[in-house]
Structure 1
Amino acid sequence: MEAPAVRLSGITRRFGAVRAVDDLDLTIETGAVVALLGPNGAGKSTTISIMLGLVPPGTGTVALFGEPAADAVRAGRVAAMLQDAGFVPGATVRDVVELARALYPRPLGTDRILATAGVTDFANRRVDRLSAGETQRARFAFALAGDPRLLVLDEPTTAMDVAARQQFWTAIRAYAADGHTVLFSTHQLHEADDVADRIVVLAAGRIVADGPPARIRAMAGVGTSARLDTAFLALTTDGPDTDGPDTKTIETEH
């Protein structure tokens, strides 16, 4: 049996007196598109950083495709598009893509990367002369270069205009349909509703709901036609029950 794309077991991480991640268990099977949601300070970015091996957990274990995160990243099985990723100022978008391709054993072709990320029209422009939305798309191209089996996206559509967002999510759907796994965090809840097979909601470092969008609404006690924002607020305003098992966590159907 193939190992899951992600398995986090008993992950805890403190920053001083603040417990950013609180005994978190999360398994993501291969081929899934999963949205990680939560209010500011819920632990989303810390969870992603631990998953990618950028921050060590205080307790718990991390496995990506059955191996340590660092090994999976080094082998090119995992890549990420992070909000604070920077580029060499004088490089062009094409230079950045070629650099990324050189890091991996079986990279995608340059033209395919540029087209998928929607950066072909400005591939020869310097990255320090891109708009904020164009920079996001260049980060996407960099993340795609190694054809990763797991693609992790942290607030990927920040600063993108409507057309760029639509193109981006169309590319993500096609990438996932080809058997890849995608995990993304976003504050744009309609994007999660439209794209994700599964939504994981964090509050105070714990998972408070986990399942397809329809079941997230059901757990929140809102109607099937309600906006996901309404369910999200119902699930996160009071936070998880700390006196016992989390009654808002639900099992995911496979």
Structure 2
Amino acid sequence: MTAIPQGRTRRAALVTAVCAFAVTGTAVLTGCGSEDPDAGTNGVGKLPAAAIQAKTRAAAQGAPALRLSGTVVTSGRTYQLDMRLKADGGTGSVTSKGATFKLLRVGEQLYMKADADFWNQAGGKAGGDGTGAADTLNGKYVKVPQGDPAYKRFSGFTDKNVLLDGLLTLHGTLTTDGHHDDASTRTIRISGDKGSGGTLDVSLQGTPYPLRLVRAGGAGSLSFSDWGKDFAVSEPAKGETVDYGRQLPAS
């Protein structure tokens, strides 16, 4: 019987080892045979794109809490968000045009918190005597009246269901766009109109939560994390709250 050269045996052993690592890691290498890229996953990668979108939307809506961070472009303005959201409220920071403010929603009550520079830029006045509101509002949670334009503009950033309904919709014909990796988590990507309608990376590990969204038309990108990790939202202390009493300064 013809002996197999030792060099060839070593190469074969190395290929076998590399392929074994690839299957148990986060990628499947070409040249490793017909390994199933969905082996050991939750199986959603084998589904049609529309079914994947339906499952990830259901998973997101069913989660008690999450964190999202990134950018959203709406009505010509770019907002940098870092929000934690749950069914009965949300909290986090928003930055737009170099100005940063915090949002807190407890039930239906929305609060804004910012420094004096923010309120000075907003041009607010505390009353008819022309007294500036900035010192009064500086570092305080300001109750936002529900009839105020600011309530309509910003409350959606703190509303889990409203925000996810608006974000987790890709436009155009849905297709799958390969297996990927997001912070060491294996994902399946779905695309709308080959990417022009947005892309969404969905976890292949555990519950098929959305992990990364690139919105259509350059309207921002967001990362989703801390799915199911609860947090507390509560009314701020009276000493930390200011009731402006009428329409807030336009920002």
Say which structure is richer in helix.
1
TM superposition score normalised by structure 2: 0.24
* TM-score between the two structures when normalised by the length of structure 1: 0.24
| Larger gyration radius, structure 1 or structure 2 | 2
